[in-house]
Structure 1
């Protein structure tokens, strides 16, 4: 299988994380946002939604959207729970990640750390920061009930994978994770799992990097 991604995308990181955890080797075609690769005719021909990640299966089929790809890769593994109630809870947290969690945290990181095109005092940044804290407070309270993982207590699921990247990178947008001790412990549990892969493979110190490397 092949993943078409970019280096700094949290959504792409989700897919590579799960593949690493379950022992799936992905060939990478890494595009450059800085060069405008996502606007190229070649990319839009295989990605009508014009977004990464895209997963190319061995038969040539293409899958888009990180949540859908996580679902596909998790089939037959412990990362997708077996009971309908646990599956529904996993999906509920994945919807939360997209609608309440990633929606403010991703643009904070994008505009304050990567593009640096707005100031922290900008009303948009203030609003995203408040919404991001609201989402992290929900996650903190959920984990504070004694849970080790988000949707199933016995083992991590793809809900944990979905929530991990933009939580881990949220300090780039001015979020103080020190306010969320349970979240910090949960992040450490994920990073302690066998097969954990940083944003830049082999270089965990670059998880909060603003650079797009040439490698």
Structure 2
């Protein structure tokens, strides 16, 4: 069985667990703690030289790091990775956008304003993060509007791993003070993803906790 090393609220690890659930791939999950220093321990760094999650342990004992690489690995041979070369390139284009322009500001806002609970949203760098986050969400909303009511981010007929990559930090944007009301195409897209068979929330079986910071068992 595949084994996933993650942390409780990692958006990047959520991408992997979401895709695996949508594909019906079972994962053994080992949840680590940043606060305990688990990600700095020698035993973790031996399998994860980059020092962060997610890390996927393969059946042959090899380890694969970085969420986008893991999504690509899991999607091979499935409808989540298109066969057409141009469509593949379009998927990679939107995954690059997610890492470069979308995830960074949204993750920083969520981390500091919600999870750590410190920082003034009306001061820098948070004002800049908020502006960048809204700009990225507008790009995504415009793309989804172009794709039509039944389209997906990079492909029309079926969702791809670009949708999975962009989903978690978009869904959690309100945690960092970025409301989704101005983005109707995004809100409709989130509903489509959440209606897919196999959808898994950040806290499995508890979708109401997607935006929660409460420490519950």
TM exceeding 0.5: yes
Contact 2:15/2:67 (8 A) holds in 1: yes
- The match for 1:190 among 190, 193, 215 is 193
Q: Name 2:176's counterpart in structure 1.
A: 173
Does residue 204 of the first structure (1) align with residue 207 of the second (2)? yes
Contact 2:147/2:153 (8 A) holds in 1: no
The Cα RMSD (Å) is 0.9
Unmatched 5+ stretches in structure 1: none
Cα distance in 2 between the residues matched to 1:38 and 1:177: 33
The 4+ residue runs of structure 1 with deviation greater than 2 A are none
Cα distance in 2 between the residues matched to 1:100 and 1:202: 30
Cα distance in 1 between the residues matched to 2:168 and 2:55: 17
Superposed CA deviations along residues 96-139 of structure 1, whole A, max 9, x for unmatched, are: 00000001100000000001221111210000000000000001
Superposed CA deviations along residues 64-93 of structure 1, whole A, max 9, x for unmatched, are: 000000000000000000100000000000
Aligned-pair CA distance for 1:44:
1.2
Cα distance in 2 between the residues matched to 1:44 and 1:106: 23
Cα distance in 1 between the residues matched to 2:102 and 2:137: 7
Aligned-pair CA distance for 1:146:
3.9
Cα distance in 2 between the residues matched to 1:29 and 1:212: 18
Cα distance in 2 between the residues matched to 1:171 and 1:113: 9
Contact 1:7/1:212 (8 A) holds in 2: no
TM-score norm. by structure 2 comes to 0.96
TM-score norm. by structure 1 comes to 0.97
